[in-house]
Structure 1
Amino acid sequence: MTKSKTRVVERTLRLRLKPTAPKTGYVDGAWWPHSDELAAELPALLAAVAGRVGTIHHVAYPLGEWARTPDELVVAGQTVRVEGIRQGTGHTVELLGVKNRRVVLLVVPPGTVERDAMATMTSASAVDNESAVDELLTAGTRQRGDHAEGVAAVQRWVTEGGADRGSR
């Protein structure tokens, strides 16, 4: 009998955080996941953000923007409650850590063109940036003067990769 080998693909975490103080704006930075599989994407993210807020025990995300996700995950031996919410700010994840310290991250849709994603992440993580989520999501395309393309990319992610997949 032969054993099948599972190939584990290590991917670079695409995350940019604002400096810890003073807090400005709604988001604390930006995250560009590789897929809409939140359960697969969270372990690396939680490990990276734990240095800022301690062990993360709760993650809130907008329903319909991710594939079906279990209500709990065990990450690094800790149980993390994962809650899909119907109301709140779209294209964000909220991570709650020790003493309810929180980090709110702008989520750049996985299929975003790299130059646009990097511009969005840079803008969202800028010390003095107070832009709204919708403004941040179009930062890369605005720099090229193509606002409509950015809006269309976000809409494609919601309609093709988010809402329909969440009902699996």
Structure 2
Amino acid sequence: MVRSAKDRMTWVCTGEPPVARLRLADSPSSRSMLDGGWWPTSREPVVELCSLVTALTARRGGVIERIMLQPDAWDRHPGRIGVGGAVVRVGWFTSLAAELVILTGPRDLRVDLAVVAPGATHAVATATMLAASRPADSTRATGETSIPSHPRQGRSARADDDVAGWETEGGHVQRDRPPTAPART
């Protein structure tokens, strides 16, 4: 696979990132499905992820090395971001729900956060983040509060079902290109 220079570059937030709107469980539990909730202010991943990594590092300690996100939920898709002098790798997975972000680091560090859509009301965002940060929370984030798919991508529900089925069967569909028939020999 040939990668462009843009794909290989490390994106750095040049301004002061906003304070992350984040609510974490008081003590992480191995029985929890979620470790808290996060309410980004925009769909700009460089600014929002810098803010999130900075807040998590300050609150939980440890180093965040990787972040996993759903690509349809964000405006750009950087492969690496620079935060506080460190480089964090960002992975984009179509199989991951838009309402979930997973951050990992050394020594089995893993933080799963429910993501609230940037345009959600304060009441909805607060309720979602409170529910996600409850000890031993066994709920998943709901689609009502997730970041919606990118508006430029108007796919039908049937197309999404086909892709979801294909993804769970081990295949991979590139959504940017229409399917082509195999070449006949």
Q: Same fold (TM over 0.5)?
A: yes
Is the counterpart of residue 22 in structure 1 residue 13 in structure 2? Answer: no
Select the residue among 7, 18, 35 that pairs with 1:11.
18
Which structure's relative contact order is higher, taking Cα pairs within 8 Å and 6+ residues apart? 1
Select the residue among 110, 116, 133 that pairs with 2:124.
116
Secondary structure class of the residue paired with 1:94: strand
Structure 2: state its 5+ residue gaps: 1-14, 155-175, 177-185
- Partner amino acid, structure 1, of 2:149: V
Give the Cα–Cα distance (whole angstroms) in 1 for the partners of residues 123 and 31 of structure 2.
24
Is the counterpart of residue 125 in structure 1 residue 133 in structure 2? Answer: yes
Secondary structure class of the residue paired with 1:42: helix
Corresponding pairs, count: 140
Give the Cα–Cα distance (whole angstroms) in 2 for the partners of residues 163 and 27 of structure 1.
28
Structure whose residues are more often helix by fraction? 1
Give the Cα–Cα distance (whole angstroms) in 2 for the partners of residues 62 and 78 of structure 1.
23
- Partner amino acid, structure 2, of 1:19: D
Select the residue among 30, 34, 40 that pairs with 2:47.
40
- Partner amino acid, structure 1, of 2:72: G
* 8 Å Cα contact 2:46-2:78 kept in structure 1: yes
- Partner amino acid, structure 1, of 2:114: L
Give the Cα–Cα distance (whole angstroms) in 2 for the partners of residues 28 and 122 of structure 1.
11
Question: Which position in structure 2 is the counterpart of 1:96?
Answer: 104
| Identical-residue share of aligned pairs (%) | 30
* 8 Å Cα contact 1:37-1:69 kept in structure 2: no
Question: Which position in structure 2 is the counterpart of 1:77?
Answer: 85
- Partner amino acid, structure 2, of 1:75: V
